[in-house]
Amino acid sequence: MRKVPNRILLTEDRMPEQWYNVRADMPSQHDPYINPATMKPATMEDLTPVFAEELCKQEFTLERYVDIPGEVMDYYRLYRPSPVIRAYNLEKYLDTPARIYYKYEGSNTSGSHKLNSAVPQVFYNKKQGIERITTETGAGQWGTALSMACAHFDMPLRVYMVKISYMQKPYRKEIMETYGANVFPSPSDTTNIGRSILEKDPENTGSLGTAISEAVEMAVTTPNTRYSLGSVLNQVLLHQSIIGIESKIQLEMVDEYPDYVIGCSGGGSNLGGLMSAFMQDRLTGKAKPYFIAVEPSACPSFTKGRYAYDFCDVGHITPLAKMYTIGSGFIPPNIHAGGLRYHGMSPILSKLYHDGILDEARAVGQKDVFDAAVLFARHEAILPAPESSHAIKAAIDVALECRERGEAKTILFGLSGNGSFDLAAYASYNRGEMENYAPSDEEIAMSLKGIPDLQGI
């Protein structure tokens, strides 16, 4: 028997009962959201028409720990704690002295970590007496997670699904409908912003930014309705902190601590969650793990974007956030990691990266990512989601660097989701049709020009 088991399991009696708020330990905070109507810092009053009150509080709070409500714990226990897995087979194949661990969030029915924030978001809305939630979904992970949480709390849900995904991923729509959600292809004729886009371009296949605009418009114009977002926001990073808190306990159980913490980053929910407890150690001087954010070269907000105020949506009805952005008008190519096709980045992660605390961001190409994904699938017996495979690619690269240097480092990466709904992507890879892709410098420069000039604020 090996000293470290393959799967490090945590029993539910050891599951964390509080979320950790990284803002409490940050040396300085991100610049405030800006209300586009007043161009002044957004207040609670600006946000409460959009989000449930408790969630607005969480968006602003600097408390270090927030109790996880009992009703949320009850749902978490249906699928948590999730395992930390030692990648023995991958280590052996790579012939590396590094020890590779991954936190696997993909074994629940939604297929990803998104459920961790969907459950509390629906709970707080229900508690407030909200009668309907709206949201958007791109690849479908968030919409599925929110549908499951809404089914549990008996909350009607309307999902605006990016039209290209709606057409290409009918099964994602079906699983949301099985859990009781109403799913509309976006742009739709149910909102002003949707109608105006369709008027100009009836064939428009949608974008995450457009779907966000539609869902927010529907929320603020319908009585007793609120909007729900699966990434980017501070509240989401707070909820996702359970990933990192559990991971730290699990690694402690086998006397390990990560030298590297690696996560894919689209809007930041996965990386922000995974790093939480380790970032606390870093910020309080207890340890100094090295953090790597991995993004697609097709949508490189960290590595090619600008740290600036920008809108979170295409329709420019949401508040502006100070963040790394490639421009809200940027149309990323239709790569298969749909969950990473977002122009912006969590304000918290952006601030940490800007301040040199989140150590490194890497952009990786789609073909290289799938090479890593298939290698991982064959050795570790889990088919990874394309999004998560960005972290696999970087973890493999770090493990190979360790081999070169003869260093027995400990690597922790986030396997945030499984690939069961991404077989069309694997089919494309199997047929040899996949290529690395990166927008040209001209395309990026053009998009960055669209970022509003708010240097004076």
407 binds its own copies (CB under 8 A): no
The residue from 75, 166, 278, 353 that contacts its own copies (CB under 8 A) is: 75
Reading phi first (left if > 0) and then psi (alpha if -120 to 50, else beta), residue 264 is in beta
432 binds its own copies (CB under 8 A): no
- Rounded Cα distance between 226 and 134, Å, is 6
Token pair 């990933």 in the structure block, residue:
243
381 binds its own copies (CB under 8 A): yes
Q: How far is the CB of 150 from its own copies (least distance, A)?
A: 10
Q: How far is the CB of 15 from its own copies (least distance, A)?
A: 10
State which of positions 77-96 bind its own copies (CB under 8 A).
Answer: 77-79, 89
Nearer to its own copies, 44 or 424 (CB): 424
- Tokens standing for residue 73: 């714990």
The residue from 31, 105, 136, 380 that contacts its own copies (CB under 8 A) is: 380
426 binds its own copies (CB under 8 A): yes
70 binds its own copies (CB under 8 A): no
Nearby residues of 131 by Cβ (< 8 Å), 6 or more positions away: 155, 156, 223, 224, 225
Which range of residues in 42-50, 144-152, 210-218, 255-263 is near its own copies by CB under 8 A?
144-152
- Rounded Cα distance between 33 and 319, Å, is 6
State which of positions 163-192 bind its own copies (CB under 8 A).
Answer: 170-171, 174-175, 177-180
DSSP bridge partners of 86: 101
The residue from 9, 283, 357, 454 that contacts its own copies (CB under 8 A) is: 9
Nearer to its own copies, 310 or 422 (CB): 422
Q: At what angle do helices 208-221 and 192-200 cross, to 10 degrees?
A: 140
The residue from 6, 29, 38, 334 that contacts its own copies (CB under 8 A) is: 6
Which range of residues in 44-52, 145-153, 310-318, 405-413 is near its own copies by CB under 8 A?
145-153
Nearer to its own copies, 148 or 358 (CB): 148
Alpha helices in 129-162 (DSSP H): 141-153
State which of positions 12-31 bind its own copies (CB under 8 A).
Answer: 12-13
- Rounded Cα distance between 232 and 28, Å, is 18
Do the Cβ atoms of 270 and 240 come closer than 8 Å?
Answer: yes
Nearby residues of 232 by Cβ (< 8 Å), 6 or more positions away: 267, 268, 269, 312, 321, 323, 342, 344, 345, 346, 347
Q: How far is the CB of 5 from its own copies (least distance, A)?
A: 5
Output b/e per residue, 358-378; b: 16+ Cβ within 10 A: bbbbbbbbbebbbbbbbbbbe
Angle at 347 between CA 341 and CA 350, to 5 degrees: 80
Nearer to its own copies, 9 or 164 (CB): 9
Binding interface with its own copies (CB under 8 A): 1, 5-7, 9, 11-13, 75, 77-79, 89, 107-109, 111, 148, 151-152, 170-171, 174-175, 177-180, 374, 377-383, 418, 420-421, 423-424, 426-427, 429-430
